[in-house]
Structure formats: C-alpha cells, structure tokens
Chain A
Amino acid sequence: DVKVTQSSRYLVKRTGEKVFLECVQDMDHENMFWYRQDPGLGLRLIYFSYDVKMKEKGDIPEGYSVSREKKERFSLILESASTNQTSMYLCASSPLMGQGNQPQHFGDGTRLSIL
C-alpha cells in the first residue's frame, strides 16, 4: 500500500512566522503535490514536483514555496504566515506519467491554524 505521511496532523502558528509542512512517501513516486482544502472551494493545487529539485507552480502559489531535496520528501513553506493561510493542507504522490496514468495518493492532511 502507498503510504504518504504528513509530519503533523494539527499545527498552530502565529502571524508572520515561517512555517514548514513536511511530507514523506514510501513508494518511490516521482511526482509529489501540495494542496489546500477549504470549505466550498475544494482542493486547490499549490505546488507540485516531478523530480528532485524540480518544482512547478500550481493554481495558488502566492505566499508559499516548496523544497524537494530528496525523492521521498516534499516540504511546503509558508514564508510569512497570514491568517488567510489557515486551512487543511494535503500532500499527495503519484508515479511518473510513463508508468501509466496512475492516480494520486494522499496523506491525512495537516490542519493549520494561523493566529
């Protein structure tokens, strides 16, 4: 079974703090993704990565950055947290396209509150 592990289930931070959300997958997947999920807005893609040190902006990258130094690990960084970044953050992974169009597998999410 694919296992995507997010380091924290719940996190409370203060406005202006630099926040790191960590995600690790154990299936040697090339692709990794960060989403946020908000009521009424569904899942929105923040950033994705298709290889180590590679990254692509998603639909809402403003205020975020990412880091992928190792294949299994993908970090989301909130450079200066703001209250409108309070949300559920979901990490996902999938194999490379050439291995068949495999769907994404998700972690259990990090519920982040910015005070």
Chain B
Amino acid sequence: QKEVEQDPGPLSVPEGAIVSLNCTYSNSAFQYFMWYRQYSRKGPELLMYTYSSGNKEDGRFTAQVDKSSKYISLFIRDSQPSDSATYLCAMLPGGYNKLIFGAGTRLAVHP
C-alpha cells in the first residue's frame, strides 16, 4: 500500500463547478500538508500549505485536513478553464524534510 493515495482521474467538470480533490494517507506522523498545481510541461507550483487539522482558505481555494480520518481535500470554487492542470498532494512528517507525494489528479475544466 502506498503511503499517499490519490485518484489520478481524469476529472472533467464544467466551468463554474465546485471541484473536490482528495488524498488519503496511512502515516499518522504526517503533520504538514501541501497542494501543488502542475500545468503541462511546467514544474509543480505551490498552491496551499497547511499544518495539522483544519481548513485554510485562499481566494477560490480551500484546503481541508482531517487527521483523525487521514484525509485531505482541496476545494476549488467557481472553477475556471485556467484551473485545468494536474493537482498533487504532498505531505511531510514533523522534523523531516522529505516530501511524500500523491500520484496527482488531472483536472479539466471545460467552458
């Protein structure tokens, strides 16, 4: 079993939809949780960064962490065609700098 599971998609939604992207993990030592967005032929770009359980909002994006269920989510409100990309979740145990990535979910937002 992988440490981090992420559905690869692809996920196709109409413009304006609310998108929910999710990852589950098995290592209870993970304390820091990140979401990266990767456009085609580009490197991953940091989107959201949260510590421990709870919610964090940034514009149309909300990151949610539920440590008791070992489950993290990224919500995108009012999705736009420019949100079409691959979204990678990543996690970090406390006191250690080696990121563990999910496989990435490919999202397509069509006009």
Residue numbers of A with Cβ under 8 A of B are 4, 31, 40-43, 45, 48, 50, 58, 90, 94, 97, 101, 103-109, 111
Also in contact, A94 and B97, with CB within 8 A (given A101-B32, A106-B45, A108-B42): yes
Which of chain B's residues have a CB closer than 8 A to the CB of A50? 97
**Most interface-central of A31, A40, A97, A101 (chain B CB within 10 A):** A101
B interface residue count range (under 10 / 10 to 19 / 20 to 34 / 35 or more): 20 to 34
Which of chain B's residues have a CB closer than 8 A to the CB of A42? 88, 101-104
Which of chain B's residues have a CB closer than 8 A to the CB of A48? 97-98
Residue numbers of B with Cβ under 8 A of A are 8, 31-32, 34, 36, 41-46, 49, 51, 88, 90, 92, 94-99, 101-104
Also in contact, A97 and B95, with CB within 8 A (given A40-B8, A106-B43, A109-B42): yes
Which of chain B's residues have a CB closer than 8 A to the CB of A111? 41
User: Other CB < 8 Å A-B pairs besides A42-B103, A50-B97, 9 of them?
Assistant: A40-B8, A41-B103, A42-B101, A43-B88, A45-B98, A90-B43, A97-B96, A101-B94, A105-B46
Query: Bound complex: CA of A103 vs CA of B99, how far in Å?
Result: 8
Q: Is the CB of B95 within 8 A of A106?
A: no
Query: Bound complex: CA of A109 vs CA of B39, how far in Å?
Result: 12
Q: Is the CB of B43 within 8 A of A104?
A: no
- Nearest A residue to B34 via CB reads A103
Task: Tell which of B43, B49, B88 touches A107, judged by Cβ atoms closer than 8 Å.
Answer: B43
Which of chain B's residues have a CB closer than 8 A to the CB of A101? 31-32, 51, 92, 94, 97
